[in-house]
Amino acid sequence: MKIEQIYTGCLAQGAYYIVSENEAAIFDPLREVQPYLDRLKKDNAVLKYIFETHFHADFVSGHLDLGKKTGAAIVYGPNAHPEFNAIIAKDEQIFEVGKAKIKVLHTPGHTMESTTFLLIDENGKDTAIFSGDTLFLGDVGRPDLAQKSANMTSEELAGILYESIQNKIMPLADDVLVYPAHGAGSACGKKMQKETVDTLGNQKKSNYALNQPDKESFVREVLDGLAPPPKYFEMNVTMNKGGYESFDDVKNRGLNPISAADFELAAETSDAVILDTRNAAEFCKGFIPNSINIGLKGDFAPWVGTMIVDVKQPILLVCEIGTEEEAVTRLSRVGFDNVLGFLNGGFEAWKNSGKETDEIKRISPEEFAAKFSNRSKVVDVRKSSEYETEHIAHAFSKPLDSINDWAENISDEHFFLHCAGGYRSMIAASILNARGIRNFTEIEGGFGGIKKTGKIEILDIGCRLPIV
């Protein structure tokens, strides 16, 4: 028997592939399925089952395309009501894959259909759990995403999650491996560890949620400090539950090269967003006016979903040459399928055609330190938790994910803009610039670079201040 974790860092997502006796199963596959087909061919294996731990909110699963290409059955746990053919398993039902067995452990709470799958090896030993968003390493799945569909409060769902963990997972042996659907960086939890696999025994010792004295404490601690979920989550659930367009069709449509002249015409005559996926250092030096910069070399897809919100939004891409397919693929993972095409020849083609360009004023941390005074206004777009850990004295906390709330009320006075390393602050800078707000200077290298100068006062406790 072989178990392979297929981890996608930009989504902090884990899919899993097991093979026994030339039969295979896949858990929570990503949208693009060719890597799984390649593995099956290499192992001369037949895909028997596609197990879905729940209707995912943070990415579009590849279950439908994979099922059509392989004939494998899609399996959900109890309470799932997909709008396509699938096996809705019963609690404790057994599925055989070669000489291995998969046991269904219904573990509602994150969502009501959430299910943990227990892998039993050829010798009958409990080997691993594929815990989806029920149990993470260091955390549990947030119970506030399925309130509407379940007609329950977050507190009620958290209580159900507590019972699921206590009754279905905690009794398992300590040497059982835990394979979660997500790791650190995912918005599906708040305290996830950077590791991607652990023993259940270690989680029983180290996971704060598994060490609460009673249900009331569990509910309180699990719900405490949860940030609002990204708005695209609900739309991804709808796609995973109701179906979606084939990834092959999405990719073929998106990989449409558009000349500079036609790109300009499309931008002027449609409501498409111009999404520039180059890195911040290149973007700031020159870009198409009104472009939004979200760099491909970063948490690209989650930030697209957070900033653009509507998965049906038409998108025109500006990419580094050779990265167009990666951009279309990563957009599709979070349901953004309406890519009209990409600028053929990249930004250089636009510039060489003599068309209008724009730029962002960016300075180094050292230049910022030289310009900074007690009268300087500084806007910190990191998460509130990052700001509260440490920040520049008198800086204003304005998280990037709430830019729509604070951008309208920003003053006309000049301010400096930074995040942790420059990725998020350039996203913010491009959005502000597109809205006609230009009275700022963005800081390359962000808070990390500023701190290294040793010339700016840093506080480790502070309060959020409004910009006036």
**Where do the domains of the chain lie, and which CATH numbers do they carry?**
2-234 (3.60.15.10), 245-352 (3.40.250.10), 362-459 (3.40.250.10)
Is residue 133 predicted with pLDDT exceeding 70? Answer: yes
At 468 the pLDDT is 38
CA 331 to CA 302: how far, in whole Å?
9
Mean pLDDT, the chain, as a whole number?
A: 95
pTM of the model as a whole: 0.92
Residue 357 binned pLDDT confidence (cut-offs 50, 70, 90): very high
Stretch among 156-160, 186-190, 353-357 having the lowest mean pLDDT: 186-190
DSSP state of 408: G
Residue 203: name the closest of 138, 142, 140 by CA.
Answer: 138
pLDDT digits (tens, 9 = 90+) for 265-307: 999 999 999 999 999 999 999 999 999 999 999 999 999 999 9
pLDDT digits (tens, 9 = 90+) for 367-390: 999 999 989 999 999 999 899 999
CB under 8 A, 24+ apart: contacts of 146-153:
146/110, 146/111, 146/112, 149/111, 149/112, 149/237, 150/111, 150/112
CA 272 to CA 346: how far, in whole Å?
17
Q: In sequence order, what are the residues at sequence separation of 6 or more whose Cβ sits closer than 8 angstroms to the Cβ of residue 342?
A: 254, 255, 256, 257, 258, 316, 317, 318, 319, 324, 327, 328
The 3-state secondary structure of 159-179, one letter per residue: HHHHHHHHHHHCCCCCCCEEE
CA 6 to CA 29: how far, in whole Å?
9
Whole-angstrom CA distances from 335 to 10, 141, 235, 247 are 15, 21, 8, 10
Residue 92 binned pLDDT confidence (cut-offs 50, 70, 90): very high
Provide, for the chain, the percentages of residues in helix, strand and coil under a 3-state DSSP scheme, each rounded to the nearest 5.
35, 20, 45
Read off the tokens for 333: 């993972």
Residue 45: name the closest of 53, 36, 55 by CA.
Answer: 36
The string of DSSP codes covering 140-165 is B--TTSSHHHHT--HHHHHHHHHHHI
Residues forming a β-bridge with 144:
none
Average pLDDT rounded to a whole number, residues 92-98: 98
- Amino acid at residue number 391: H
Residues forming a β-bridge with 129:
118, 178
Average pLDDT rounded to a whole number, residues 348-356: 97
Whole-angstrom CA distances from 187 to 10, 57, 209 are 12, 10, 17
Is 162 within 8 Å of 110 (Cβ atoms)? no
Residue 304: name the closest of 258, 326, 281, 335 by CA.
Answer: 335
pLDDT digits (tens, 9 = 90+) for 156-180: 999 999 999 999 999 999 999 999 9
pLDDT digits (tens, 9 = 90+) for 20-60: 999 999 999 999 999 999 999 999 999 999 999 999 999 99
In 21-163, the DSSP E strands lie at 23-27, 46-51, 73-76, 87-88, 94-97, 100-106, 115-120, 126-132
CA 310 to CA 252: how far, in whole Å?
21
Return the number of other C-beta atoms located less than 10 Å from residue 466's C-beta: 10
CA 165 to CA 221: how far, in whole Å?
15
Do you know the residue count of the chain? 468
